[in-house]
Structure 1
Amino acid sequence: MIQDNAMEDKKTTLEVIGPSVEDAIESGLDQLGLPRDAVDVEVLDQGQSGFLGIGNRQVRVRLTLINHEAEEEKAAPVQEKVAQTDFEDPDDLDDLEIAKRKAKDIVEHLLESMRIQAGVAARILEPEDDRDHPMVLIEVTGKDLSILIGRRAETLNSLQYITSLVLNQQVGHWVPLMIDVQGYRFRRERQLRQLARRLADQVIQTGRKQVLEPMPANERRLIHLELRYHPFVTTESVGEEPNRRTTIILKPKE
């Protein structure tokens, strides 16, 4: 659960609560769609166990985006260009609409600097339920854009990370953002959700847990989302980046 967002010394921070430090960190990384080495972690509250489980106080952690020098160098000229972009009167636009337009401009400037010709569109994705948040989606289309995706989407994830870094500094707070190239993200999402349902059925039939291959945080998040309200199984992430995996297990009997 996100508690609030803030900017400190131009670093984007996200505060998250959870039943344990690891659970809170994992929740924050899933929401940001970032690997563990992209953030600094500060434990704000270790929590407290109540008597017989009553009155428990949850752990609170703060995740701060690390502004790596390489990303900063790439982002600086784009940041300057976007800062000079004229928008309509902010009073006529809500924060998310402003973020959407800025994100589109950032991606267009990045593609221009990479000498890649492509169309860029932006829209807002509504949350799946009241535990999620609206997300800015940037869709990039064109001919032969596989270079923007890269092996295991490494290039696409880097593009998304740099865009997030610039956007967060421009608007002054964290904004949920996803960049898709030629529908790659949605094809991958459909595959992962189908995989999650199929493995959940296997767990129910065999009683044995299923461990998925290592995935980036944004893809692990899809597995968690798909099985969030499943009546018989639950999910957890185990291991260290870049080999962190999602595990599907039976829910304990009540």
Structure 2
Amino acid sequence: MTKVVATGKTIEDAVEQGLSQLGTSRERVNVTVLEQPSKGFLGFIGARKAKVELTILPEPAVDEAKAAESSRLQASPVQLTPEDFPMEKPSALPVAEAVDKIDPYEEAVRFVSETAAGMGLDVEVELRHGKDESVMDISGSDLGVLIGRRGQTLDALQYLTNIVANRHADGFVKIVLDAENFRLRRQKTLENLAERLAAQVARSGKEVMLEPMPPNERKIIHAALQRHPEIRTFSKGDEPNRRVIITKK
């Protein structure tokens, strides 16, 4: 056996496993890293071990001329000089082959798929690239648990997905997660809420403070009312309890 693929919690663990299977030492093999280890979501969902390939290096070929010279020297003792032993440059140690670059979007899709599978969901993920951001559409059955109350679970998964993608990206990557067209439905709900509360404030003259919202939802409220002739909006408080205030101009 001259080649083996081994796995371990770390690359070093995987290499040691491979050396044990081959029954050889580190300097006699070439190491190729096939997969980097990953802890996964919450420490276990989507976790991945390191995977390496070890190939035994070929035995160096015997130089026939040097072998003949060695036999001659052994047969007839002579006065030896340093020229009889030319110095050779030390051979370079085997270097691990370069690891293929990991695509941040492929890694993000894999993370979402494996996280959903860990939640007992069978989903399909479609990625659409835009100018400023990419949208990951998640389809499947029983996605309510993935969306969560008012999209809180989906927002949390989106946050983690962007962390995973940006670990492997050269520049900043922004990914928006959507499931069952939730983002558009939520936008319509917030726009209708903004118009209804604006009418209430215009009639009563009393400002209204909304419940805490994430930045993207506060932005929807502000955008919906920015051209209102009688109403202005602003945000108040610190994250994650920052709220939109609707008041008269």
Interval of TM-score (by shorter of Structure 1 and Structure 2): 0.5 to 0.7
Using the TM superposition, give the Cα deviation of residue 123 of structure 1 relative to its aligned residue in structure 2, in angstroms. Answer: 1.6
1:211 touches 1:248 (CA, 8 Å); kept in 2?
Answer: yes
Tell me what 1:118 maps to. Answer: 123
One-letter amino acid of the counterpart of residue 150, structure 1: G
Is there any run of 5+ residues in structure 1 with no aligned partner, and where?
1-68, 88-98, 127-133
Counterpart secondary structure, 2:211: coil
Counterpart secondary structure, 2:152: helix
Using the TM superposition, give the Cα deviation of residue 85 of structure 1 relative to its aligned residue in structure 2, in angstroms. Answer: 7.6
1:103 touches 1:138 (CA, 8 Å); kept in 2?
Answer: no
Counterpart secondary structure, 2:232: strand
Tell me what 2:203 maps to. Answer: 205
* Identical pairs, percent: 36
- Report Cα offsets for 1:192-234 as digits up to 9, x if no partner: 0111122223333333322112223332222123234444433
Q: How many residues align?
A: 164
Q: Where does 1:218-229 land on structure 2 (aligned, <5 Å)? A: 218-229=216-227
Question: In 1, Cα distance between the equivalents of 2:107 and 2:148?
Answer: 25
Q: Is 1:151–2:152 an aligned residue pair?
A: no
**What is the TM-score with the length of structure 1 in the denominator?**
0.52
Go from structure 1 to structure 2 and tell me whether the alpha carbon gap of 1:107 and 1:76 turns closer, same or farther (over 3 Å shift).
closer
Question: In 1, Cα distance between the equivalents of 2:225 and 2:216?
Answer: 15
Question: In 1, Cα distance between the equivalents of 2:130 and 2:224?
Answer: 17
My pick for the range that moved more, 193-202 or 227-236, is 227-236
Using the TM superposition, give the Cα deviation of residue 146 of structure 1 relative to its aligned residue in structure 2, in angstroms. Answer: 1.5
The RMSD of aligned alpha carbons is 3.5
Tell me what 2:180 maps to. Answer: 182
Q: Where does 1:84-103 land on structure 2 (aligned, <5 Å)? A: 103=108
Using the TM superposition, give the Cα deviation of residue 122 of structure 1 relative to its aligned residue in structure 2, in angstroms. Answer: 1.7
Question: In 1, Cα distance between the equivalents of 2:115 and 2:148?
Answer: 16
One-letter amino acid of the counterpart of residue 181, structure 2: G
Question: In 2, Cα distance between the equivalents of 1:199 and 1:181?
Answer: 28
Q: Where does 1:154-173 land on structure 2 (aligned, <5 Å)? A: 154-173=152-171
Go from structure 1 to structure 2 and tell me whether the alpha carbon gap of 1:159 and 1:85 turns closer, same or farther (over 3 Å shift).
farther
2:232 touches 2:246 (CA, 8 Å); kept in 1?
Answer: yes
- Report Cα offsets for 1:116-169 as digits up to 9, x if no partner: 21111122456xxxxxxx322111111112221223433212211110111122
Counterpart secondary structure, 1:123: strand
One-letter amino acid of the counterpart of residue 244, structure 1: R
Is there any run of 5+ residues in structure 2 with no aligned partner, and where?
1-38, 52-98
1:239 touches 1:245 (CA, 8 Å); kept in 2?
Answer: yes
